[in-house]
Chains A and B, each alone.
Chain A
Amino acid sequence: MNAVAAQASPVTTSQNHAEAESLLEIRGMYKHFPLADGFLEQLHFEKGRLVRRNEQVHAINGVDLTVRRGEALCVVGESGCGKSTVARLVMGLLSPSAGEIRYDGQRIDNMRGKRLLPYRQRMQMIFQNPYASLNPRMTIQQTLEEPLRFHHPDWTTPQVQDKVDDVMASVGIDPEWGKRFGHEFSGGQRQRIAIARALAVDPEFIVADEPISALDVSIQAQVLNLLMDAQAERHLTYLFITHDLAVVEHFGTRVAVMYLGTVCELADTRSLFARPKHPYTQALLSAIPRLEDDRPEHVRLSGEVPTPVHLPSGCVFHGRCPHAMERCRQEVPQLIVTDDGNQVACHAVEEGRI
């Protein structure tokens, strides 16, 4: 474990200037999931012998990220790149295999129970699927009331009710909805309720895991506006997980592009969209279906995302990269800081080949 953590990228020092304003820091984070759970499932028959093989899914492989206070850091990538795992690790729904997570200077990844409770109020999460994120057996009133009663046991019923009304109004829910159940609402309305639940405890940091990808286009705009309004009113900080680059361009302060459990590029939104450096980012950007052109020329990647069980050697992207060379197959690229202050993990960029 320690050996793994010690590999933490050389960027750490250069990021020190940002530390003053940083709210959340992820350092050298790894997360592996065992592929086979039980002992019996790990046994394999090979060449006439019984072998125990404990294969692992390498979901996160050495991620360093800093979320600055007041920003919206977007994490983008395709399915299986580990972006949702990052969200779940930050919220303590999973515990990292290695590395540490600091919130406001305090290490939180090894906290449990009561000690973590204050952070449960300060950090909240919004989920992808509004059809699953509300308890089907609870009314909206109960859903919104429970967090308040739990975190403020000393509050009186009118106090709780005031807060519920307040938060309902702030996300645009009709107070009449309180008596009804989640399934009576449309996806967009449910997502509003889920946002209200997260905002009820007055958090300062919100992890949003694909909060609009299950919604229709016209509803996406409503929810995105709601999130931006909430940010302005409550000075929220977001860690925004998404696969939709159009949303990132609109919403994000900075963007981290992930591929197979590693960050391959980290840049402020404008310069990433203007001048993507990493070949994968370039391909990703060119693949967005645009309204303007009716005959797009997108960067064609060969092959598909490899499984995170057997990670490729060297740069994880080398199998699909048009610029891959021998060095890319052997050496893992580290995030380097480019002249404009952004970070990219690519040998070709470092060598000035692209």
Chain B
Amino acid sequence: MALLEVSNLDVRFALRQGEVRALRDVSFTLDRGERLGIVGESGAGKSVAAFTLLNLIAKPGYIADGSIRFEGNDLARMSARELRRVRGNRISMIFQDPMMTLNPVLSIGEQMVESLKAHRRISTREARAIALHKLKQVYIPSPETRLDQYPHELSGGMRQRIIIAIALLLDPDIIVADEPTTALDVTIQAEIMTLLRELCEKHNVGLVLITHDLGVVSQMTQRTLVMYAGRVIEQGPTREIINDAQHPYTQGLLNALPQMTTPGSRLNQIPGSMPSLANTPSGCAFHPRCQYRYDASGQPRRDCLEEVPEFVTSGNCDVACHMVRDMLAKEAS
């Protein structure tokens, strides 16, 4: 059994314009020590997915359907008390903005000791020793002095290291990282990512990495989930998705990268933009932007327009696309 098993997750937000479906029928699994990337552009629902994993969706959002099974227990139906035992302890989260996690009026040491003591029966001295050990693991220079410093005294990269140290504090099974390096510079991003990857490998920690950057996904993860308008549209081994994407959107996303065309020539753009979740197109949500939405005679395909595509398996990937389904059927026959 997988460590984390998300099935048919449906998250909605009750807004004044009506109900907005942020996640639709999202399913995936994560094994112990596996690194999974969730890729998508803004509005794809990837951050909602991250928050939902810890059942952190707050009003007006709610989990309408589906389950999040962690070691067989459904987080979507746990009491607040049971959830507290999981959050931070077994599954921890790294946010985009370090200051979302760090309390500006407490020193780094106080914050680390506090969360240790909240989950374990240990003395302050023991907790401090563990905190120090974790700071050393993330290669923070002069960790002893850092313990007594306040978040604002540290640089952005240093803060994000401390966030990683805090995420590792209770030896979790899974780390959920929501765009952990978006606010940082490239050189710092590269360091933090390498660090995160090494730590996950060394301690056999599962990682769910939410990002918009396909380059980061390709370097960090073993499996990738591509999201569009609240749905998963393609998932499979990262290498396969990067090298041989099946879904037209994933292909478009990869081809749009500047490194995919010779310098100076026009980039391969996807026309249009991501639909708002309140106003998702019928059928396949990508169809208005998809170049394959016409059939051989140049007519718009009815299935793309009307039916939500089911997953079909192509190689090791699952793809939700009518065009891919037809191609596979043709190959088989």
Whether A and B touch (Cβ < 8 Å) is answered with: yes
Instruction: Count contacts on A: residues with CB < 8 A to the other chain.
Output: 44
| Beta-carbon contacts under 8 Å, B51-110 to A | none
A298 CB within 8 Å of chain B: yes
- C-alpha gap A246/B259 in the complex (Å): 6
- Number of A-B residue pairs, CB cutoff 8 Å, is 121
- Chain A hits for B298, CB < 8 A: none
In angstroms, Cα B187 to Cα A296, docked, is 13
Say yes or no: B257 contacts A291, CB within 8 Å.
yes
Query: Could you say which residues of chain A place their CB within 8 Å of the CB of B188?
Result: 78, 304
User: Which residues on the B side are within 8 Å of A219 (C-beta)?
Assistant: 41, 273
Within 8 A of A (CB), among B195-248: 212-216, 218-219, 238-239, 242
Contact call A288/B186, Cβ cutoff below 8 A:
yes
A310 in the interface (beta carbon within 8 A):
no
Interface residues on B, range: 35 or more
**Nearest CB to that of B197 among chain A residues?**
A295
Residue of B nearest to A285 (CB): B186
Are A221 and B189 closer than 8 Å at their CB atoms? no
Q: Decide yes or no whether A228 CB sits under 8 A from chain B.
A: yes
Q: Are B41 and A284 in contact (CB under 8 A)?
A: no
**Chain B proximity mask over A70-107: 1 for CB below 8 Å, otherwise 0:** 00000000110000000000000000000000000000
In the complex, the answer to whether A217 meets B257 with C-beta atoms within 8 Å is: yes
**Once the chains bind, are B256 and A298 in contact (CB under 8 Å)?**
no
Within 8 A of B (CB), among A272-295: 283-284, 286-295
Q: 14 extra interchain contacts, Cβ-Cβ under 8 A, other than A78-B186, A289-B218, A304-B158?
A: A186-B273, A216-B273, A217-B253, A218-B252, A218-B269, A221-B270, A250-B267, A251-B258, A283-B187, A289-B189, A291-B215, A298-B190, A298-B194, A305-B155
7 contacting pairs across A/B (C-beta < 8 A): A216-B42, A221-B267, A228-B264, A229-B266, A250-B261, A287-B187, A289-B215
Q: A-contacting residues of B (Cβ < 8 Å)?
A: 41-42, 155, 157-158, 185-191, 193-194, 212-216, 218-219, 238-239, 242, 252-254, 256-259, 261, 263-264, 266-271, 273-274
Complex A-B, nearest 4 residue pairs according to Cβ-Cβ distance, in ascending order = A289-B215, A250-B258, A78-B185, A216-B41
A interface residues (Cβ-Cβ under 8 A, vs B): 78-79, 186-189, 216-222, 224-225, 228-229, 243, 245-247, 249-251, 269-270, 283-284, 286-296, 298, 300-301, 304-305
